[in-house]
Structure 1
């Protein structure tokens, strides 16, 4: 099978990344494909779901009217912005959305203003990344991460319950948000130090081992699934270190796990899927070859092998 041709035959949100990062096409090619996100496929479909007040599904983190009793839905504003940003949509397409959300969107937690963030590390990380992408003032959220940095180097959404030990899930999401902020603004000395400390927290554990025993944290560290959403696994974490440009040798074991998951035909399988309401499916079901995971894994391995 020609894996490159197979993964390239995809929605513009995926295709442009294949053209740029795997096929080595010139900017004139992949930039033209990237521009199509706003008018074709996944991007256009999700943009069509935006409410006139700037929100999606009438809510910040949960859709309007959600009261629990069902699996986490993935249709509200934060999840929709995450998807569009991660797919590579030009933030200018959503011109005016930041202002609309400042006026009309409040967090379900304590009715807090949207661009001020709330108390959850992961939610604040996505809001930080989405804010710099859309041009909102999210300086306060970047400062929040510095203030809520735990002594062991990372972050934990359970800090509000008194936890003083970091979580790999929370730490990875925090790192992504801080990297997006730093890339866009340069960050501050304190936010850069916090991000590097968070990287050390993961690297000391080789991305997947307990620091206390050296044993794997849990089976899910090697269960790859797209969309990543809030979940941690070694592919998701290694993709962050690629984006951060840090090919640290302590990643070697995690890279080996990613390499071992490659199928004989050169693809990677979807190993888990999240239940819950979605606007539409963007990848295959569990057990099937995933173009998204094949892109991420191939990109990570190419980066690592070229170091």
Structure 2
């Protein structure tokens, strides 16, 4: 697909965290241009605001996955209240996704290993814990910041379930994989592989997880053919932890480019869910946002045209259509 000039200008009129990606992936700007814009993430806009909120001990909001002092029996922990998005892991995920140069966080890896502990089992930060989504986020962030997460990387093949994927509820006895958990895991494995080179064992584990998702065509249960759920095609940014066709397609695009392979034809139906959500003006609307406290909002409320979703959707369709 192609974007008209007005729509491209609208996307470029954005925070450096988004603008550099639009320049690189949609506008075809020279590397010197988008790299200069990406460097501004550390000093301007959303990225600079998050960096300024870092605690002296290297954390954000005083906690690893939840803010320090979080009341697990209080109103914020009740169903429907939403996960707070202000703690260290979520903030690092965001900054990494925005392309922040790890040099802007020099010393953070060491400070986190010294001062930050997981709420679940009080383990040091880079040791990870038992939740595969949390460990995948930690693996990617550790590789980005230069922490030694080799032992954590080895955790993933050992905890893959017989059907090929992962489930964060494995510790509670679940033996069936989850599309949410599996997507988060393969995204973390891909990020680790891209930054460190990975291993054949980890690459095989990632491919097995991707196959688990492809067997479902990102949309339907293997056993019955019924939709995975009403949330599967919901357009929402930030993606956070939730599976959606757009979030998953964003991963499969990155994985195909990394592996040097064409798009898998089993993605076709999922691609069409994204294509049909495009508005007559060429934008995609924010349809929902996961509830929970954030440092500040980076995208529009539900019902409004979203630059972030428009970028991600347009990039996925451009990749798919170019291959076709």
Q: Shorter-chain-normalised TM-score: which range? A: over 0.9
Match of 1:269 in 2: 285
Q: Does 1:160 align with 2:171?
A: yes
- Please say which of residues 235-244 and 1-10 is displaced more in the overlay: 1-10
Q: Does 1:256 align with 2:272?
A: yes
Question: Hey, what's the Cα distance between the residues in 2 that align with 1:151 and 1:18?
Answer: 39
Residues 5-24 of structure 1: pairs in structure 2 closer than 5 A: 5-24=9-28
Structure 1: gaps spanning 5 or more residues: none
Give TM-score scaled by structure 1 length: 0.99
Question: Hey, what's the Cα distance between the residues in 1 that align with 2:168 and 2:191?
Answer: 19
Residues 196-215 of structure 1: pairs in structure 2 closer than 5 A: 196-215=207-226
Match of 1:53 in 2: 57
The CA deviation at 1:46 is: 0.2
Give TM-score scaled by structure 2 length: 0.94
Question: Hey, what's the Cα distance between the residues in 2 that align with 1:139 and 1:53?
Answer: 23
Secondary structure of residue in 1 paired with 2:177: coil
Structure 2: gaps spanning 5 or more residues: none
Q: Does 1:218 align with 2:229?
A: yes
Match of 1:95 in 2: 106
Match of 1:306 in 2: 322
Match of 1:278 in 2: 294
The CA deviation at 1:37 is: 0.3
Secondary structure of residue in 1 paired with 2:20: helix
Question: Hey, what's the Cα distance between the residues in 1 that align with 2:266 and 2:292?
Answer: 35
The CA deviation at 1:5 is: 0.7
Q: Does 1:189 align with 2:200?
A: yes
The CA deviation at 1:215 is: 1.5
Match of 1:231 in 2: 242
What is the alpha-carbon root mean square deviation over aligned residues? 0.8
How many residues end up aligned between the 2 structures? 307
Match of 1:26 in 2: 30
Secondary structure of residue in 2 paired with 1:220: coil
Deviations 1:65-102 (A, max 9, x none): 11132132110000110010000001111010000001
Question: Hey, what's the Cα distance between the residues in 1 that align with 2:26 and 2:227?
Answer: 31
The CA deviation at 1:3 is: 1.0
The CA deviation at 1:201 is: 0.2
Question: Hey, what's the Cα distance between the residues in 2 that align with 1:281 and 1:195?
Answer: 32
Secondary structure of residue in 1 paired with 2:239: coil
